Amino acid sequence: MKSIRAVCSLSVLMSTALLAACGGSSSGSGNNGAAREGEYSAEIVRTEMGIPHITARDFGSLGYGQGYAFAEDNLCTMMDDFVTIRGQRSRFFGPDGSYRIPANDSVADNVSSDFFWKFIADDAAVERTEAKTIPRFQELVTGWTVGFNRYIGELKAGEHPGRHAACADGEWLQPISTDDMYRRFVRLSVLASSSVFVQEIANAQPPGLNNLPLPGVGALGGLLPGPLGDLLAPLLDVLGGLGLPLAHIETPRRAQPYTPQNEVAWKQQALAANPGAFADLQEHERFGSNMYAFGKDASNTGNPIVYGNPHFPWSGTERLWISHNTIPGKFDIMGSSLYGVPAVLIGFNKNVAWSHTVSTAYRFTLYELKLNPLNPTQYLYDGEMRDLTAVPLTIQVKNADGQITERTRTLYKSHFGPMITVGASGVPVLAWTPVLAYSMRDANLENDRLINQFGRWNESTSLDEFIGLQASQLGVPWVNTVASGPGGKVYYGDVTVVPNVPDSLVASCRALPFSLVIDQVAAGLPLLDGSRSACEWLNDDDAPAPGVFGASNLPSLQRDDYVANCNDSHWLTNANEPLTGFARIIGDENAERTLRTRLCLLQAERRLDGSDGRPGTGFDIATLQDVALSSQIYSAELTRQTVVDSLCAQPLLLGGEGPANGADVAAACGVLAAWDGSDNLTSVGSHIWREFWRRASAAPLGLPIALPIPTPVTDLWSVPFSSADPINTPNTLNTNALTVQMAFADAIAAVKATGIPFDRPLGEIQRSGVHGDAVLPVFGGSGGAGAFTVVSTVPENLTSDGYTVEYGNSYLQTVTWDAQRNPIAAGFITYSQSSDPASPHFKDFTEAYGMKRWQTFPFTPAQIQQQQISKKTLSQ
């Protein structure tokens, strides 16, 4: 049996410093070991664009080859994440820096990040995940660790000169352990839940004990709910007057003093103005994806076609990396993985292909706790007081003088999970007060099945087996799935880890009034009463773990024409067969779809009925690839002519800073009239449209949502949404709306202010933001404007430097099968395989993507040999 715990490879022993590092687990637990001679052997053949094809005799050796090949490409980026999730950022980078998770936009200072990860991804979570992992996948993880460490040893020994300059000489480049890998799985599981709230969890503390008089209910400024505050105010005033050491509560500055009557509205207004982490939960325009599966009735060959197109970050460890992994006669899978995962997450083999999009389902609920006013670390549960669990934590901090000191903090858990506090605009929206506090239960923090789910999928011998494994393992943390196989139907499922909180439970357990505050920014996210066992999550007989929905209560669909998802809920997976009757926590139904989803469905429907202007009907690979990268903008299809005919004809357009310049309006309108309506590199004028649409579709004038404004002044559309025609409504731009007119005037002024001409092609404006000084043009547009071919830029607005792409289309695949069931696959990794500027594969795929030059993914031995650019055999 290979070593399952922390591993240091033999090659690591080439360095005395690394030998010392191998003396103890980098994560604080585990049984260290080394690979026995001859234990691992793998062959790595790289084909065009640096795609590694790894062949090995067993899972341990396969992981060994994967870990080594991955380290060749992305060592420093991965090490930065390992350091982070160990809780060591302050130790190596000091306390004043910060860490951002691009995929969920969570930003935390190093100290908060360290305490959070030590708290959330603790040894118990690591051990539970490892213990649940199937033995052959434990071997895969261990082998990956050995291979990764081998490359570190080679680099430290002077091999690979010039490579990985960002970390090669860093103290933080140290061997990893298998604990680091299992901790990485925990980190990925909670990407759409706990880790959105790093600051809010890491800094949640009970009211301070400082002997200051406790304010009465009026001065509490919203920290006590109205009825409860009225009940307890006299007692608290008496205790506060005695100077008892209860709590000092800072009240935020606000235009009007708090009153119990306006408490909910006060918090709603604050959160609407600054939704913070709750906004990140709703951000599917960046952390999103597109996907299709076309069946026999939609495919011109009669064989299904699967299209995958995640929109993921172009930096950090939520990048994707392509590999092909083979154990001859036993295992053969190709596709992409998030960094540090030794299983293909989106991919294909001879029997099945699949892809994912981010689901709308919530993976956690909030619980409101009623506290003991004399002890804010006790909460009421079924009529009795329970103690919160105190978790003392210590981190190391590197000070400015280089000295290492320690900091301690105690965080707390209820039996639901970690305590959390949320503020917005200086207002304590979810505060820890002497009488109320909030806790989170995260279903994915309890999900120890992620690696088993994807590992078993990689082994699938049929679509039916694939579907059955999704239901039985139920380890997919936060993504929808489409899949198909040779000759089969096409399948969609949001069969994922979702708290078992049906609408009836929400109705009986909703924690009023503050659930109204959360509803405003995160509709469907339950805030439940934590004082009653009747409000615990329910259990399904077909679920593999308590507290989550089983597959029978989760949406899925099989058809012969198509299934699709572009980040809206399950409801319109197919335009002709809506999925309804599922719990609101999973997603909305009979509700307006985004412009991107509408275009996603229209592209399928138009191709099938032949109304999209392309020859014939139905899909083949070439047609699908053309559709996928067409870069058309649906908002322009709907409204550009109206803008040209109406807004451009206005004698006076008022912007935020006064009347628009007439000559500028005329010039911009002339360009828009000739624009091709897409965001291709040759498109002229698309930047004007993007700036206009971003402003027009934003909240009206930035005014508080409760402020009554006449509808004609603010509505974007004249024809509202109708669930009877969800693809085509809403429609008809409301050019009488003041906000629309101002958006147009302000967009023209903003473009003019950048110095970029109105008639500049997009290819001269928009480029990659992750390739240093290399100028790599990138096509694509904003999902909010109705682009299917998506980019997201930082900053979002146009600057004098143009648009800098740091998000969007990432891994793309089109897959079908030939008569021998061999996959016919092609695609891209848009930012290229390596994050190391010294790598030959740092930008080659990006250049190919900019030219829309689809890369064939070689799968058979003959295809691999034809594309081979290097070969390496490793053993130890």
* Same-domain check for residues 159 and 242: no
**Same domain assignment for residues 105 and 64:** yes
What pLDDT does 270 receive?
A: 85
Does 200 lie in the same domain as 190?
no
Distance of alpha carbon 687 from alpha carbon 779, whole angstroms: 12
- The half-sphere exposure of 752 on its side-chain side, counting CA atoms within 13 A, is 15
Write the CATH number for 515. Answer: 2.30.120.10
600 assigned to some structural domain: no
For position 98, what pLDDT does the model report? 94
Sign for the CA dihedral angle at 685, 691, 692, 693 comes to positive
Neighbours of 608 (CB within 10 A): 17
How far is residue 559's CA from residue 566's CA, in Å, rounded to a whole number?
18
Location of structure tokens 């539970």: 128
Name the 3-class secondary structure at 76.
Answer: helix
Q: Could you give the 3-state DSSP secondary structure of residue 465? A: helix
DSSP string covering 613-633, please? SSSSSSB-HHHHHHHHT--BB
Angle at 537 between CA 536 and CA 543, to 5 degrees: 150
Query: Given this model, what pLDDT does residue 248 score?
Result: 30
Q: Which residues pair with 562 in a beta bridge?
A: 294
163 shares its domain with 212: no
Last residue of one domain, picked from the residues 516, 536, 556: 536
Containing structural domain, residue 724: 631-787
Query: Rounded to whole angstroms, what are the CA distances from 31 to 64, 82, 185, 208?
Result: 19, 18, 19, 41
- For helices 110-120 and 178-189, the axis angle rounded to 10 degrees is 100
Yes or no: say if 619 and 490 are a contact pair by the CB < 8 Å rule: no
**How many angstroms separate the CA atoms of 618 and 608, rounded?**
5
| Inside any domain, residue 706 | yes
Whether 242 and 133 map to the same domain: the answer is no
Residue 491: inside a domain? no
Q: Do the beta carbons of residue 830 and residue 314 sit within 8 Å?
A: yes
* Residue 127 counted as domain residue: yes
Distances (CA, A) of 591 to 249, 281, 335, 433, 451: 41, 18, 34, 37, 34
The answer as to whether 319 is a domain residue is no
Site of tokens 């062949």: 55
Alpha-helix residue ranges (DSSP H) falling in 570-718: 595-609, 621-628, 634-645, 662-674, 686-696, 711-714
* CA-closest candidate to residue 280, choices 290, 288, 269: 288
The span from the CA of 602 to the CA of 421, in Å, is 43
Structural domain total, the chain: 3
Given 142, 165, 194, the domain boundary residue is 194
Secondary structure of 123-167 in HEC code, one letter for each residue: HHHHHHHHHHCCHHHHHHHHHHHHHHHHHHHHHHCCCCCCCCCCC
Half-sphere exposure of 498 (CA within 13 A, CB side): 31
Q: Residue 596 has what pLDDT? A: 97
Query: Do residue 237 and residue 183 come from a single domain?
Result: no
CATH number of the domain encompassing residue 47: 1.10.439.10
Q: What is the mean pLDDT of each run of 10 residues along the chain (876 residues)?
A: 39 38 38 64 98 98 98 98 98 95 92 98 98 98 98 98 98 98 98 96 84 31 40 42 33 50 84 83 71 98 97 96 98 98 98 97 98 97 98 98 98 98 91 97 98 98 98 98 96 98 98 94 96 98 98 98 98 98 98 97 98 97 98 98 97 93 98 98 98 87 40 84 98 95 97 98 98 97 96 96 97 97 97 98 98 98 98 97
Is 88 within the bounds of a domain?
yes
Taking the C-alpha atoms of residue 750 and residue 181, their distance in angstroms, rounded to an integer, is 47
Do 148 and 242 lie in one domain? The reply is: no
Tokens describing residue 9: 């490879």
For the CA atoms of the chain, what is the radius of gyration?
A: 28
Q: How far is CA 705 from the centre of its chain?
A: 27
Q: In this structure, what CATH number is given to the domain that contains residue 780?
A: 1.10.1400.10
CB < 8 Å & 24+ apart, contacts of 334-340: 334/823, 334/825, 334/857, 334/859, 335/813, 336/811, 336/813, 336/829, 338/188, 339/70, 339/74, 339/77, 339/78, 339/81, 340/70, 340/78, 340/81, 340/82, 340/181, 340/184
Residues 135 and 231 in one domain: no
Single-letter residue type at 508: S
- Cα separation of 18 and 438, whole Å? 44
Handedness of CA 150, 152, 154, 160 (dihedral sign): positive
Residues 255 and 201 in one domain: yes
174 dihedral zone (left: phi>0; alpha: psi -120 to 50; beta): beta
Residue type, 760: R
Tell me, yes or no, whether 125 and 207 share the same domain: no
- In this structure, is residue 416 part of a structural domain? yes
Query: What are the angstrom distances between the C-alpha of 743 and each of 296, 363, 470, 733, 759?
Result: 45, 36, 46, 13, 19
pTM above 0.75, yes or no: yes
**What secondary structure letter does DSSP report for 388?**
P
Q: What is the DSSP letter of 191?
A: T
How many Cβ atoms from other residues are within 10 Å of residue 211's Cβ? Answer: 10
Which one, of 669, 655, 685, 649, lies nearest residue 746 by Cα? 655
Tokens of 268: 């709603």
Query: Mutual orientation of helices 178-189 and 135-156 as an angle, nearest 10°?
Result: 110
> Look-up: residue for tokens 């792409």?
805
Q: What is the pLDDT of residue 34?
A: 57
Query: What is the model's pLDDT at position 6?
Result: 38
Please report whether residue 522 resides in a domain. Answer: yes
Looking at the fold, whether 649 and 735 belong to one and the same domain comes out as yes
User: Which residue, 130, 163, 194, sits at the end of a domain?
Assistant: 194
Q: What angle do CA 282, 185, 75 make, to 5 degrees?
A: 100
Query: Cis ω on the peptide bond leading into residue 795 (within 30° of 0)?
Result: yes
Amino acid letter for position 92: F
Do 184 and 248 share a domain, yes or no? no
